[in-house]
Structure 1
Amino acid sequence: MNKSFRQILLISGIAVSSLGLTLNASAALPFFGSDKEEVPSLAPMLEEATPAVVSISVQGTQTSRQQVPEMFRYFFGGPQEQLQERPFRGLGSGVIIDADKGYVVTNNHVVDNADEITVKLTDGREFKAKKLGADEQSDIALLKIDPDNLAFLPIADSDKLRVGDFVVAIGNPFGLSQTVTSGIVSALGRSGLNIGGYEDFIQTDAAINRGNSGGALVNLKGELVGINTAIFGPNGGNVGIGFAIPSNMMKSLVDQIAEFGEVRRGLLGILGSDVDAGLAEAMNADVNIGAFVSEVQPDSAAEKAGLQAGDIITAVNGRELSGFQELRAKIASMGAGAEVSLTILRKGKSMDVDVVLDDATQAEVTASQIHPALEGATLANGEDNAGNGGVKVAELERNSPAARIGLQQDDVIVGVNRNRVTTVAEFRNALEESTGVIALNVKRGNSALYLVIR
């Protein structure tokens, strides 16, 4: 009998003996219990795994901008808007990934702006946690606590996950401690959800609700395969569509935070799009998914490795790609200097290309590495006259494309399409996410203006 069919029978509780069949229970899903009476149960695995999943409570102060009505400005004067501070509290989940170092991983949105972070273990112990660093774009944060006798979850290779694999979500939804739900991997490489800047999610139908954020998605061996981070539902409740950050992506980001206190993103240096049937036909390519390279930026890691416009990247480190956004997320989560093997299709022939990634977060970059319309400008992290962060035009070549769109030396770019940017890294990310016409908000001395890139 087919093994998958045997598993379905056993999971469904069908009395296979009535079919006149003899099955080995160990060949199906885990069966735990005595030799005399075996029943399907995840309990033994969960008894090992759940102590490594913690509850996180935070408190802090949020600053919001409040518009002052015109009539009050007329009578009392003052600025058009005022800053207002409000206290807040929040709850979430976390996962202990290193017992010796006391490392706890959670979502950035769980601990963002928190002045005080408390981690509560399943045995009732509570500890104040220190935030070692976080990455807003991928929604990962690393905390540290200092207790003894910690449990931890071993980290699995999430690249080995397959659609249909059984998974279990562990967390603290709605403030309820230690809730466990089960399901399967519904899809891999999910992106385009506008949840974060870099998206490469595992989709699961294991029930995930508010408060599960930062909790664990584990396989049937009790290994961590993902960090639960988002739900898809009209009312914020579970509808069988949840998303988790893959463990490989999480580990790469956490390793960088532990070493540098920040994420130093890798940079490939290409522009491109998803491959679809129309593009595949136009390029006479025998693939319908992957990342199409429309432009290789000068002096980039991609150019040094020999990538060319028209190449189709089909896999990263042997793992098949679904599209350009997945490639972007995988590259961004790898550290600067990481060595990556790309499988590409060029003129009908498949080949592997080894690339050493550049640093996407370096303080000063040649602007053409970010957008071709900015060629001729050198950009650096800087400040405007009010002391607010921005991207300074440190150098500018005369008659260059950047000069022709109206940029001048010492300009400070503070926004892209009305979205605030304070660093070169944020500027790069904002441009990558923009489509169509791009409006740059520029501070020039005490003046503000917009420059348009079409």
Structure 2
Amino acid sequence: MKKTLLVLSAVALGISSVMAPAPATAALPLTVNNQQLPSLAPMLEQVTPAVVSIAVEGKQVSRQHLPETFRFFFGPDFPTEQLQERPFRGLGSGVIIDADKGYIVTNHHVIKGADTIRVQLHDGREISAELIGSDEMSDIALLKLEKAKDLTAIKLSDSDNLRVGDFAVAIGNPFGLGQTVTSGIISALGRSGLNIENFENFIQTDAAINSGNSGGALVNLNGELVGINTAILGPNGGNVGIGFAIPVNMVKNLTEQILEYGQVKRGVLGVQGGELTSELAEAFGYETNRGAFINQVMPDSAAEKAGLKAGDIIVSVNGKEIRSFNELRAKIATLGAGKKATLGIIRDGDEMTVKVVLQESSQNKVKAAKLHRGLTGAEFANTTAQDGVKGVKVTNIDEKSMAARYGLQKGDIILGLNRQPIRNLGELRKALDQQPNVLALEIKRGSNILYLIIR
């Protein structure tokens, strides 16, 4: 699992000397008192082909600090640290969500830093996978299988309808052993404050989850996906019956944004607040301590425009109950910028609803130096409806930077790269992954179209 180190040992114990072997004709009865024995096997036969094993390879870059005495021998300009690359391999799990297009969901930490991604299907086939996009803050990644046929996708459920006590089945590739199925119940909902991810709204389950289950499926007894397994809580990373999964409704929102924009277009409400204590609830005329307390509304924010006020208690989003401020934060962030939401609130003891249009987070902006050396000093974001065109907009630029010297200006919109249309950051990243020697950027500047050549 994430951020754990585990050692697995297996000991085979022979028992033939203790117990006599059963007769070859012995078999378990299929019925008892003319009633068929319950079994998950029929459901799993339909679902397990949609769960895959993922193997990754890549290089990790680490910094090695050198003694200051090196500068005495080699001069004051000699660096006191150097970068080291070390190869790594990793294993995880994934879930096929679209059989026709070959889309697979997994965790970001499963594929982080990977140069090659190989997927092993339930029938034994191994196929290379391409990373479409990922989001580290919510730990979700979307892959696409290359030229894959005869795939099986899993049906997605509505995770907002889950209840504590519902049965759950975890499917994945723990310890690299191969596909494994464990069962349990939903132990808790809306878990947060674990400091595992930035946006936490976990399903907790006691179905056994171990290292390698990351990115695997948590399903209900109908064989529908309710969550993506992502973390465990226990000594030495071993299973102690406390595992966590990302709700499938969050997964759907995030993957739809990755497909449309090439990244997660995070939404922002524009409030500050905290958890609702019993004392606060009583002071503000609310009978329970479930909800998100607002202590400040940011100026010119989506919340202010919707009429939210300090002291309001948000108790639902789009008709679904909110248990905590962290759950509110996770749901708003994953809904996406520009999305409309209906918030149920308590104000002065009265229930009411407000409608809000979420704004775009500044975290959606990308430092261009991460894309190409010649773009250093610029900051990019996807265009909005107000820009009137799809592309990548220069939202900020350092006037002394390399990008500025090449002629890039704040407000420029990149429409194409080397005669290839660019409609969002995802397409720009993909085009630059080819490492072209020369960048011919098609730029919209005001009402003019021009080309900038960057080497």
TM over 0.5: yes
Q: Does 1:86 align with 2:86?
A: yes
Q: Does 1:171 align with 2:172?
A: yes
Residue by residue over 1:314-359, the C-alpha shift from the partner in whole angstroms, topping out at 9 and shown as x without a partner, is 1111111111111000000011111111100001100111111111
SS in 1 for 2:356: strand
- Which residue is equivalent to 1:220? 221
Residue by residue over 1:112-164, the C-alpha shift from the partner in whole angstroms, topping out at 9 and shown as x without a partner, is 11000001101011110000000000000000013111011100000000000
SS in 2 for 1:194: coil
The CA distance in 1 between the partners of 2:352 and 2:318, in whole Å, is 12
Task: Output the aligned Cα RMSD.
Answer: 2.6
Aligned length: 350
Are the equivalent residues in 1 in contact too, given 2:95–2:106 (CA < 8 A)? yes
How do residues 107-146 of structure 1 correspond to structure 2 at under 5 angstroms? 107-145=107-145, 146=147
How do residues 302-321 of structure 1 correspond to structure 2 at under 5 angstroms? 302-321=303-322
SS in 2 for 1:257: helix
Deviation at 1:70, TM superposition (A): 2.6
- Which residue is equivalent to 1:56? 54
Percent identical across equivalent pairs? Answer: 63
Deviation at 1:71, TM superposition (A): 3.2
The CA distance in 2 between the partners of 1:123 and 1:410, in whole Å, is 53
Residue by residue over 1:145-185, the C-alpha shift from the partner in whole angstroms, topping out at 9 and shown as x without a partner, is 13111011100000000000000000000001110000000
Are the equivalent residues in 2 in contact too, given 1:290–1:323 (CA < 8 A)? yes
Are the equivalent residues in 1 in contact too, given 2:264–2:364 (CA < 8 A)? no
The CA distance in 1 between the partners of 2:276 and 2:374, in whole Å, is 45
Are the equivalent residues in 2 in contact too, given 1:56–1:94 (CA < 8 A)? yes
Cα distance, 1:35–1:51 mapped onto 2, change above 3 Å: farther
- Structure 2 residue runs without a partner (length 5+): 1-29, 381-396, 401-455
Are the equivalent residues in 2 in contact too, given 1:264–1:361 (CA < 8 A)? no
- Which residue is equivalent to 1:288? 289
Are the equivalent residues in 1 in contact too, given 2:187–2:206 (CA < 8 A)? yes
- Which residue is equivalent to 2:41? 43
- Which residue is equivalent to 2:183? 182
How do residues 41-440 of structure 1 correspond to structure 2 at under 5 angstroms? 41-77=39-75, 78-145=78-145, 146-361=147-362
Are the equivalent residues in 1 in contact too, given 2:62–2:85 (CA < 8 A)? yes
The CA distance in 2 between the partners of 1:63 and 1:286, in whole Å, is 52
Cα distance, 1:117–1:286 mapped onto 2, change above 3 Å: same
The CA distance in 1 between the partners of 2:176 and 2:206, in whole Å, is 21
Cα distance, 1:344–1:141 mapped onto 2, change above 3 Å: same
- Structure 1 residue runs without a partner (length 5+): 1-31, 365-379, 393-408, 413-454
Q: Supply the AA of the counterpart residue of 1:222.
A: G
Deviation at 1:76, TM superposition (A): 3.9
Q: Supply the AA of the counterpart residue of 1:67.
A: H
SS in 2 for 1:272: strand
Are the equivalent residues in 1 in contact too, given 2:59–2:115 (CA < 8 A)? yes
Q: Supply the AA of the counterpart residue of 2:267.
A: G
Report the more deviating stretch, 107-116 or 36-45: 36-45
Deviation at 1:34, TM superposition (A): 10
SS in 1 for 2:157: coil
Cα distance, 1:231–1:61 mapped onto 2, change above 3 Å: same
The CA distance in 2 between the partners of 1:217 and 1:33, in whole Å, is 29
TM value normalised by structure 2: 0.73
Deviation at 1:188, TM superposition (A): 0.3
Q: Supply the AA of the counterpart residue of 1:235.
A: N
Q: Supply the AA of the counterpart residue of 1:58.
A: V
Deviation at 1:86, TM superposition (A): 0.6
Are the equivalent residues in 2 in contact too, given 1:286–1:348 (CA < 8 A)? no
The CA distance in 2 between the partners of 1:74 and 1:237, in whole Å, is 49
Are the equivalent residues in 1 in contact too, given 2:266–2:363 (CA < 8 A)? no
Residue by residue over 1:224-254, the C-alpha shift from the partner in whole angstroms, topping out at 9 and shown as x without a partner, is 0000000001111101000000000001000
Are the equivalent residues in 2 in contact too, given 1:166–1:184 (CA < 8 A)? yes
The CA distance in 2 between the partners of 1:257 and 1:117, in whole Å, is 18
Deviation at 1:287, TM superposition (A): 2.9
The CA distance in 1 between the partners of 2:306 and 2:178, in whole Å, is 50
Deviation at 1:381, TM superposition (A): 5.5
Residue by residue over 1:352-372, the C-alpha shift from the partner in whole angstroms, topping out at 9 and shown as x without a partner, is 1111111114778xxxxxxxx
Deviation at 1:306, TM superposition (A): 1.0
The CA distance in 1 between the partners of 2:44 and 2:32, in whole Å, is 18
The CA distance in 1 between the partners of 2:66 and 2:53, in whole Å, is 39
The CA distance in 1 between the partners of 2:240 and 2:379, in whole Å, is 42
Give the number of the structure with larger relative contact order, counting CA–CA contacts within 8 Å between residues 6 or more apart: 2
Are the equivalent residues in 1 in contact too, given 2:284–2:349 (CA < 8 A)? no
Q: Supply the AA of the counterpart residue of 2:258.
A: I
The CA distance in 2 between the partners of 1:362 and 1:236, in whole Å, is 31
Residue by residue over 1:398-434, the C-alpha shift from the partner in whole angstroms, topping out at 9 and shown as x without a partner, is xxxxxxxxxxx9799xxxxxxxxxxxxxxxxxxxxxx
Q: Supply the AA of the counterpart residue of 1:163.
A: V
TM value normalised by structure 1: 0.73
The CA distance in 2 between the partners of 1:179 and 1:362, in whole Å, is 38
